[in-house]
Amino acid sequence: MNLGLMAKVAGLELGAQADGINVTGFAIDNRKVAPGTVFGAFPGSQVNGEDFIPAAIAAGAVAVVARPQAVVEGALHIASDEPRRLFAHLAAPFFEPMPDVVVAVTGTNGKTSCVEMVRQLWHVAGFSAASIGTLGVTTAQESVSTGLTTPDIVTFLSNLHGLAREGVSHVAYEASSHGLSQFRNEGPRVVAGAFTNLSRDHLDYHATMEAYFAAKMRLFDEVVGDGGTAVIWADDAWSEAAIGHARARGLKLMTVGGKGETIRLLSRTPTQLGQVLELECEGAVRKVTLPLIGAYQAANALVAAGLVIASGGDGARTLDALGRLAPVRGRLERAAINRAGAPVYVDYAHTPDAIEAAIAALRPHVGGRLITVLGAGGDRDSGKRGPMGAAACAGSDMVIVTDDNPRGEDAGLIRAAVMAGCTIASDVREVAGRRAAIAAAVSAAGAGDIVLVAGKGHEQGQIVGRGEAMRVLPFDDVQVARECVGELT
């Protein structure tokens, strides 16, 4: 494909020199450069891609997208103060066609559940649909892990192109704060974006809550296309600010929740295996039996329904389809039931707010004690560790603090930071080794009790070490919980 033509499609002006360049691909890893490739050289937190420009050109790169001060010899230098963004918009035409309908979800918690619920609702409506995010690329037929909530821009665009070639017409993807701030999901036309909530996370990267929120709002400020729709959960402390961003951008606005105007949650009644939602939508009141437990699962389902409606779905049929939603992997997933009849739930909760929400979801179903197992990740926002312990102790009858992904930190010091937050009266124990902690919880649970294993959810490994010493040890909370139950029978 001609570079000049791609630039014009993307609304970029590169000059006549680009017209004579034929492009065979795009890459941000110099090891993946082949003759005819456009190479993206971006400064990062650990590696500066500009250092690999000579290697990329030697491998056949015909153009390099980089900052103006970068040294580019032997290839066209496409300079920009925001090279990641320009690279994304330049690459998008190369990866056409893409699915006809693309929507995105941002927020601290609920992104994975929302995009998977959107995919399921589209599937019920008869569309060939997929979701992209923490669980990988999920279609009705399979799930392929990408390893990141938001993959790199080349992988992201390539995934969209591949899905379109397979006949997928509708895609929902997770827009993380990292991905938004690094322009990792630019390019495709996004018809609707959703905001779920905001609570403390990733402050090691964003520094302040205001900067974290601003990164999330790029979805409304720049990513959702003109004439697009913003779907906002109306009951969060940051909802009004998100609504303000959407209005300032001129987007159509749909709000959902107890304060929602598009889909209003009138009441929520827990049942043994789910909950009954009374909803008002399009002037009519209807009851929906949602086969998932917890207030936050209801919130995720309504945000998902809002996105489906925003992208052309019928309101009444979409709400009725909520009754057919299946659980999302690692999101309040019931892993096992021990001999005493106590169920073990696994959840991805790894922030204070998410732990509080998971506990609140399970509490109405607890006849005896709620036993929570949690840890905190190493080399991540250390300031949230004490509040995570506080949240667990405030809502649980017994707390077992253990290891999560220690990465390059001392696991004992991480546990100590979590324990420091456990000042509220509760039965608190520290157990080194995640398997031992899960086994202790399962063994302690009696009739009427519920065990919550929080933090890792769907993850299949435990990260230990950093750099060249990093190892990923096989570890699946769901599988380990089942094995621990089996060892007691």
DSSP-derived pairing of the beta strands 263-270 and 275-281: antiparallel
Q: Annotation-wise, does 197 bind a ligand?
A: no
Q: Annotation-wise, does 150 bind a ligand?
A: yes
CB 148 within 8 A of CB 83: no
In sequence order, the 6+-apart residues with CB closer than 8 A to the CB of 455 are 347, 348, 349, 350, 374, 375, 376, 377, 404, 477
CB 132 within 8 A of CB 170: no
CA–CA separation, 344 and 351 (whole Å): 20
Alpha helices in 257-409 (DSSP H): 295-310, 315-321, 352-362, 385-395
One-character DSSP codes across 175-196: --HHHHHTTTT-SSPEEEEEE-
CA–CA separation, 21 and 26 (whole Å): 13
* Burial class of residue 479 (count of CB atoms within 10 Å of its CB; 0-12, 13-18, 19+): middle
CA–CA separation, 384 and 297 (whole Å): 23
Distances (CA, A) of 181 to 75, 196, 213, 240, 283: 28, 18, 11, 21, 39
Q: Annotation-wise, does 84 bind a ligand?
A: no
Q: Annotation-wise, does 289 bind a ligand?
A: no
The residue among 474, 458, 452, 450 whose CA lies nearest residue 348 is 458
User: b/e per residue, 56-65, with b = 16+ CB within 10 A?
Assistant: bbebebbbbb
Lookup: tokens for 473: 């040890």
Lookup: tokens for 417: 């930071």
Q: Annotation-wise, does 107 bind a ligand?
A: yes
Q: Annotation-wise, does 407 bind a ligand?
A: yes
Q: Annotation-wise, does 51 bind a ligand?
A: no
Q: Annotation-wise, does 32 bind a ligand?
A: no
Q: Annotation-wise, does 275 bind a ligand?
A: no
Q: Annotation-wise, does 108 bind a ligand?
A: yes
Q: Annotation-wise, does 149 bind a ligand?
A: yes
Q: Annotation-wise, does 474 bind a ligand?
A: no
Q: Annotation-wise, does 229 bind a ligand?
A: no
Q: Annotation-wise, does 421 bind a ligand?
A: no
Q: In which residue are the tokens 């999302």 written? A: 328
Q: Annotation-wise, does 300 bind a ligand?
A: no
Q: Annotation-wise, does 176 bind a ligand?
A: yes
Q: Annotation-wise, does 110 bind a ligand?
A: yes
Lookup: tokens for 275: 């909950």
CB 192 within 8 A of CB 310: yes
Q: Which residues are annotated as a binding site for meso-2,6-diaminopimelate?
A: 380, 404-407, 455, 459
In the annotated binding site, the residues are 107-113, 149-150, 176, 182, 184, 380, 404-407, 455, 459
Which residue ranges are tagged as binding site for ATP? 107-113
